[in-house]
């Protein structure tokens, strides 16, 4: 079966996008196939796959997100921006601002005049300051919050020379976060409203160039720890700077938004059976 796909990037976090509005692709969206499609040497290559599916009652659509290892996750912040742009393009932009269901809850997307997209995230939960014992740190105390998916966050003087696979995988697989595991974010404070962040992602099992829910988690924990006001900017490994907005009452956050780019890179067709017949021209 030939699959028509689009490739998009949200600040360097990149995705295979598929139109599954008629649900015809569902039998093919198994973990093995998704892992093969996301493989950077034998497939299209991506951090994950996003499928546009019919709404199940809320919002205009349903968003399904799968990591590169084929595991399905409840939410993806950079992916949500790409999803909004893709879903809008599929309907010739007639819908204007759109909303879509995710396993984490309803997400709203606003298309900004400068081409960026603002995502209204679900209410964060399970915020924990110093979530690990004082003697169990990763160069500094570890904090936690769920911004649609689980995130551990560590603030360091610098993240430039960090061995993020060693530090990230330690937290990702730490017993404190089992059995689901967690993503791991490491941030340096450049000024009260500007951070530099690097993220090790669950399900990619490596550093990604940006992680939307991770930068959100990091911004909110920074605000909780330092009273920094909204918005907070974050420089990500891919070179972009994105913005997190929020309202805060103590450790309770509402009206959380993530603003950043979503770009189309290419489109193509791929044979799901793996053997591509080159047409004789």
Ligand X SMILES: N[C@H](CCC[C@H](N)C(=O)O)C(=O)O
Instruction: Give catalytic residues, as residue numbers.
Output: 76, 211
- Torsion sign (Cα): 127, 144, 72, 233: positive
Q: Is 168 annotated as a binding residue?
A: no
Is residue 183 a contact partner of residue 211, using CB atoms and an 8 Å limit?
yes
70 binds ligand X (CB under 6 A): no
64 binds ligand X (CB under 6 A): no
The single residue among 53, 101, 201, 235 that binds ligand X, judged by CB under 6 A, is: 201
Which residue, 59 or 260, has its beta carbon nearer to ligand X?
A: 260
196 binds ligand X (CB under 6 A): no
Integer Cα distance of 174 and 193 in angstroms:
30
3-state secondary structure of 39: coil
Q: Min. distance of Cβ 165 from ligand X in angstroms? A: 15
Backbone phi, psi, residue 78, to 5°: -65, -40
The single residue among 213, 218, 243, 259 that binds ligand X, judged by CB under 6 A, is: 213
183 binds ligand X (CB under 6 A): yes
**Cβ burial 100-126 (10 Å sphere, 16+ → b, else e):** bbbebeebbbebeeeeebbbbbbebee
Is residue 246 a contact partner of residue 257, using CB atoms and an 8 Å limit?
yes
Q: Min. distance of Cβ 148 from ligand X in angstroms? A: 7
Q: Min. distance of Cβ 242 from ligand X in angstroms? A: 10
Is residue 168 a contact partner of residue 135, using CB atoms and an 8 Å limit?
no
Q: Min. distance of Cβ 45 from ligand X in angstroms? A: 15
Q: Is 13 annotated as a binding residue?
A: yes
What mask, x for binding ligand X by CB under 6 A, covers residues 19 to 38? --------------------
Angle subtended at Cα 255 by Cα 251 and Cα 258, rounded to the nearest 5 degrees:
105
Q: Min. distance of Cβ 208 from ligand X in angstroms? A: 6
240 binds ligand X (CB under 6 A): no
The single residue among 203, 234, 243, 253 that binds ligand X, judged by CB under 6 A, is: 203
Which residue, 33 or 78, has its beta carbon nearer to ligand X?
A: 78
9 binds ligand X (CB under 6 A): no
Integer Cα distance of 263 and 104 in angstroms:
24
Integer Cα distance of 144 and 214 in angstroms:
10
73 binds ligand X (CB under 6 A): yes
CA dist list (Å): 108 to 7, 15, 96, 119, 222: 22, 19, 11, 6, 24
Is residue 117 a contact partner of residue 109, using CB atoms and an 8 Å limit?
yes
Which residue, 59 or 214, has its beta carbon nearer to ligand X?
A: 214
Please enumerate, by residue number, every residue annotated as part of a binding site. Answer: 13, 67, 77-78, 183, 201-202, 212-213
Q: Which parts of this chain interact with ligand X (CB under 6 A)?
A: 13, 67, 73, 76-79, 149, 183, 201-204, 211-213
């Amino acid at each position: 079966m030939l699959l028509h796909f689009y490739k998009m990037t949200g600040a360097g976090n990149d995705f295979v996008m598929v139109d599954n509005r008629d649900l015809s692709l569902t039998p093919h969206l198994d973990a093995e196939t998704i892992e093969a499609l996301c493989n950077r040497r034998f497939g299209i290559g991506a951090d994950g796959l996003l499928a546009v599916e019919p709404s199940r009652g809320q919002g205009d659509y349903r968003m399904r997100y799968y990591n590169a290892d084929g595991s399905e996750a409840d939410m993806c912040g950079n992916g949500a921006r790409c999803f909004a742009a893709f879903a809008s393009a599929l309907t010739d932009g007639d819908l204007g601002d759109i909303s879509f269901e995710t396993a984490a809850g309803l997400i709203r997307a606003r298309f900004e005049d400068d081409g960026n997209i603002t995502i209204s995230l679900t209410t964060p939960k399970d915020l924990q300051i110093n979530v690990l014992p004082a003697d169990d740190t990763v160069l500094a105390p570890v904090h936690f919050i769920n911004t649609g998916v689980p995130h551990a966050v560590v603030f360091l003087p610098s993240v430039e020379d960090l061995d993020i696979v060693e530090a990230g995988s330690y937290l990702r697989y730490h017993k404190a976060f089992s059995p689901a595991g967690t993503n791991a974010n490491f941030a340096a404070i450049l000024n009260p409203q500007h951070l530099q962040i690097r993220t090790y992602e669950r399900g990619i099992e490596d550093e990604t160039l940006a992680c939307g829910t991770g930068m959100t988690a990091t911004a909110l924990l920074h605000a909780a720890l330092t009273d920094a006001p909204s918005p907070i900017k974050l420089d990500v490994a891919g070179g972009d700077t994105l913005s997190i907005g929020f309202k805060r009452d103590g450790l309770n956050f509402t009206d959380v938004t993530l603003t950043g780019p979503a770009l189309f890179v290419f489109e193509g067709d791929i044979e799901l059976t793996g053997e591509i017949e080159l047409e004789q021209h």
